[in-house]
Amino acid sequence: MDEGLREIFCRELYINEVRKWEDLNIDCLLNIFERVGLNPLIFDLPFVCKSWYKASRDPYCWKILDFTCISFEQRYFESIIFVNGQPPADDDARWCLFTKFVIKFAADHSCGIATTVVFHHHLFYNILQYPLERCPAVKNLILPHYCIPNLSIRDELKDIPKLIHKWKDLESLSLSCYSHFTAILAQIQIHCKKLVSLTTSYYIGTRQASAIVTFVPNIKHLVLRSCFLPRKNLIRILSGCRELELLDVTSCTGFDADDVEILTMASYIKTFMSNDSEEDDIDPDWGEEESASDISD
């Protein structure tokens, strides 16, 4: 057990005046297990004792599925039983197989009550849909952020718009501008009435700005940090999203952070952040051709 986990358990022992970890009551165990991360929850804690095994199988422990915390360790990998009897020799293939196992295991054990799902920015293919189909209660969702309109990645993401009708409680969404952005926001408008926060990355072209204004005009929090964001598209967002309470366009390229017109237009926003944003000689229509494929879903 790593030192961080040991410290948490020792503190709970002291607070609850018990001498053995296995004597901690179930509520304390669930409170701890919820915070430890997927690797120890799958490969370590269930094997300490029967009470810990039972607690680790409670769906409450699996409400936060943060797949960015998956770490590959040989001892974890060797504990997986392979159908073919032999694990792949290639390191990338081993990591891919291990990641898929952890994601499927966690999604299955969440029993549909997971409220937070976080994917790594560079996820292996053919696994994204599996957990998303099994998380209808998701409130906070961070999808992979890809920096190029890769066709293989688009194939992985193409079915996400078809799943959105399940996410009635979705409040916060983070996705790449190349992740079927327009099609996803169109479904968000129909099915996700609780959405208050949207984060996207890389490029806010005419189509992306139009999608934001058209499909989520009542968004409260909009994070476009470090994007290529032409001035005309920022102005369009400021004009069309009048219920914004937070707009983060920090470190963007395409407009000047001290632009008087933009600062005046943004004066209605409680928290407007544009530090370190600057104009550039890049054509404001740069990237429009690449992003066009996003709207033709």
Q: Where are the alpha helices (DSSP H) in 44-150?
A: 50-56, 74-78, 91-110, 129-133
pLDDT of residue 231: 94
Same domain? 95 vs 172: yes
Distance of CA 48 to the CA centre of its chain: 31
pLDDT tens digits, one per residue of 81-135: 554 456 666 767 777 778 888 899 999 999 999 999 998 876 655 788 899 999 9
Same domain? 148 vs 187: yes
**% of the chain exceeding 90 in pLDDT:** 49
Same domain? 161 vs 256: no
Q: Is residue 57 part of a domain?
A: yes
Query: What is the CB neighbour count within 10 angstroms for residue 261?
Result: 11
Q: Is residue 245 part of a domain?
A: yes
pLDDT of residue 188: 97
Same domain? 53 vs 78: no
* Residue-range definition of the domain harbouring residue 247: 198-209+217-280
Same domain? 174 vs 244: no
Over residues 60-67, mean pLDDT = 92
Q: Which residues pair with 1 in a beta bridge?
A: none
User: How confident is residue 284, by pLDDT bands cut at 50, 70 and 90?
Assistant: low
How many domains does the chain contain in total?
A: 3
Same domain? 111 vs 44: no
Same domain? 96 vs 156: yes
Q: Which residues pair with 203 in a beta bridge?
A: 228
Over residues 38-51, mean pLDDT = 85
pLDDT of residue 37: 85
Kindly tell me if the per-residue pLDDT of 271 is higher than 90: yes
pLDDT of residue 206: 92
Q: At what angle do helices 206-215 and 288-295 cross, to 10 degrees?
A: 40
Q: Quote the CA–CA distance of 46 and 57 in Å, as a whole number.
A: 8
Same domain? 67 vs 86: yes
Q: Is residue 161 part of a domain?
A: yes
Q: Is residue 85 part of a domain?
A: yes
- Side by side, the strands of the sheet bearing 116-118 are 64-66, 116-118, 140-142, 172-176, 197-201, 221-223, 246-248, 271-273
**Is pLDDT larger for residue 22 or for residue 31?**
31
